[in-house]
Amino acid sequence: MDATEVDAALFDVFGTMTDWRSSVTAELAAVGARTGLTADWAGVTDDWRRLYRPYLGKIITGAMPWRPLDEVHRLMLDEVLPRHGLDALGEAERAELVRAWHRLRAWPDAAAGLESLHQGRLITGTLSNGGVGLLARLTKHAGLRFDCILSAELARSYKTDPRVYLTAAGLLDVEPHRVLMVACHPDDLEAAARVGFRTAYIPRPLEWGPDAPPVAPPSGVDLVADDVPALAQALRV
């Protein structure tokens, strides 16, 4: 891909730029230690996250009214906890765990790669299902510097709804074909490509833990980079 063909690079955040699995698992374990509860905390995290697509899919199709991601995370958490014998967790602990998604740790390469991109001409931004407030807190906590915070919330929907991508391009006043979507999730990149975005794939083999099967890049992706610094190098013009 010719880097002169794009004016903005928008990044998925959960998984692509941050390690949600180990971050949320650690917060679950801390709450468990404080309350005297035990569980397979990584398993709780995985089951919580596996509800993500089904819940958001209902909102995209209109089967469920739109609501902020924090509220969706709470619905998912309330469904998951009984499966692991954690019904005893109270309101304060559940609210704290929902906010754990505001405090995710960045992957080790993410901040340095963004700083390198910041030196160039491209606009950088988030394009995440997290709400604007969540993303503002998360990126500050994780040390990730973007030029702007864009969220699916601004389209009152969630990825992979095409309106999310087109709303972001419109707010930036950049033609869709000059926007690069960066993600580790093939479905996100495929949806972005369908509305005309260019796409870049960054593999995150540890997103679902060391035993997860490998994820192949989607067919037709414009760029594959090992990490964010490698992406910055490829986009340097």
| Domains of the chain in sequence order | 3-17+107-235 (3.40.50.1000), 20-102 (1.10.150.240)
Predicted local confidence at residue 237, as pLDDT? 58
- Decide: 10 and 154 in contact? Cβ < 8 Å: no
Query: pLDDT digit string (tens) for 71-85?
Result: 999 999 999 999 999
Query: pLDDT digit string (tens) for 38-60?
Result: 999 999 999 999 999 999 999 99
Query: pLDDT digit string (tens) for 16-27?
Result: 999 999 999 999
Query: pLDDT digit string (tens) for 119-165?
Result: 989 999 999 999 999 999 999 999 999 999 999 999 999 999 999 99
Please tell me the pTM assigned to this model.
Answer: 0.96
Mean pLDDT of 112-116: 96
Confidence of residue 217 (pLDDT cuts 50, 70, 90): confident
CA dist 223 and 237 (Å) reads 15
